Amino acid sequence: MTKTLLCLGYGYSARALAQRLPGDDWRVIGTSREGGASEDGVEMLTWPGDDVSLDGVTHILSSIAPTADGDPVLAGLRDKIAAARDLEWVGYLSTTVVYGDHNGGWVDETTPITPAANRGKWRAQAETEWQSVNGLPLHIFRLAGIYGPGRGPFAKLMTGKARLIIKPGQVFSRIHVDDIAQVLAASIAQPNPGAIYNVCDDVPVPPQDVLSYAAELLGLPMPPEVPFEEAAMTPMARSFYSENKRVRNTLIKEELGVKLRYPDYRIGLQAVFEAEDMEKFVPPAEPPAL
């Protein structure tokens, strides 16, 4: 029997999941603000705008970010979602920002959420809103920093504007988009309503290590180091550095049986490098001597 997946917010992670599902067994519907036809055959709706029917929808993936006003999906579709009778699985893509700052310590799914930044508070509230929908087969996925083809450090390095932001002791967890899709597919195959999963790789590292390795792959010199206190950054970028933690991913391995394709940033960046055909990259010419 064909299953129907409704992706509320057909973005980077949702596309990766749709590409992983067998086409003969799945009908995929996606929403975006623009709607239109998708290149991979997904049925697209404009939302907000079009009427979103949940008739026959068996699976929902929501990846639309909350705001200070709450979760926009539940604001517009809560009653429909609560009344849907065919749902077997609902996935909500949250982020590890809900854990707040732990001074570089480890967190797992049992760690109390103590967000400090507004974006973390909004995510925590959105999780609570989704959990409050009675009878929903809900699964929450707390994603680390996402990277993959088309979303990595290479483009920034090639502009020559990249800098190594140095904040001693700072680490981040990250996850390749293909491993996000793998985790979601594994959860769909073995639903556990109420489950919460951290989705990240095995090796939290300082951000400058990632950028340095990407430069090495490109054959470029290391970008200059800039102390965090002196770095020109947007308020959003600076807020990421206000939280420092290492995220455990044991549950996706033990409960879902996931074996990460890209367990650390080196393996993942090498794959992105090859996927984007970076070997054809020609470094910018040296400026002429004056």
Classified as helix, coil or strand, 160 is coil
Instruction: Give the DSSP H or E segment for 76.
Output: helix 72-83
Q: Is residue 249 part of a domain?
A: yes
What is the Cα–Cα distance from 69 to 129, expressed in whole angstroms?
A: 12
CB 163 within 8 A of CB 137: no
SS3 content of the chain, % helix, strand, coil (to 5): 35, 20, 45
Q: Do residues 81 and 135 make contact, with C-beta atoms less than 8 angstroms apart?
A: no
Tell me if 7 is assigned to some domain.
Answer: yes
Instruction: Give domain status of residue 41, yes or no.
Output: yes
The distance of Cα 264 from the centroid of its chain, to the nearest Å, equals: 16
Nearest to 31 by CA among 57, 4, 61: 61
Q: Bridge partners of 148?
A: 151
Residues of the domain holding 30:
3-149+174-201+244-262
Structural domain includes residue 44:
yes
Please give the pLDDT value at position 126. 97
Task: For residue 48, say if its preceding peptide bond is cis, omega within 30 degrees of 0.
Answer: yes
- Residue 34 falls inside a structural domain: yes
Query: At which residue do the structure tokens 């502009």 appear?
Result: 159
Domain annotation covers residue 270: no
Q: Is residue 129 part of a domain?
A: yes
pLDDT in single tens digits along all 290 residues of the chain: 789 999 999 999 999 999 999 878 999 999 998 867 676 778 999 988 888 999 999 999 999 999 999 999 999 999 999 999 999 999 999 999 999 999 999 999 999 999 988 999 999 999 999 999 999 999 999 999 999 998 888 988 988 888 899 999 999 999 999 999 999 999 999 999 999 999 999 999 999 999 999 999 999 988 889 998 888 888 888 888 889 999 999 999 999 999 999 999 999 999 999 987 655 544 444 333 22
> 59 with 86: CB under 8 angstroms?
no
d(CA 42, CA 20): 13
> In the chain, what is the greatest distance between 2 CA atoms, to the nearest angstrom?
73
Q: Per-residue pLDDT tens for 110-149?
A: 999 999 889 999 999 999 999 999 999 999 999 999 999 9
Q: Residue 179: which CATH number?
A: 3.40.50.720
| Contact call for residues 166 and 193 (beta carbons, < 8 A) | no
What is the dihedral sign for C-alpha 21, 44, 65, 92?
A: negative
State the total domains in the chain. 1
Residue 89, in any domain of the structure? yes
Q: How do residues 176-208 score in pLDDT, each as one tens digit? A: 999 999 999 999 999 999 999 999 999 999 999
C-alpha distance from residue 98 to each of 51, 107, 131, 237, 248 (Å): 32, 11, 15, 16, 14
Task: Please state whether the predicted TM-score (pTM) of the whole model is above 0.95.
Answer: no
pLDDT, residue 197, reads: 98
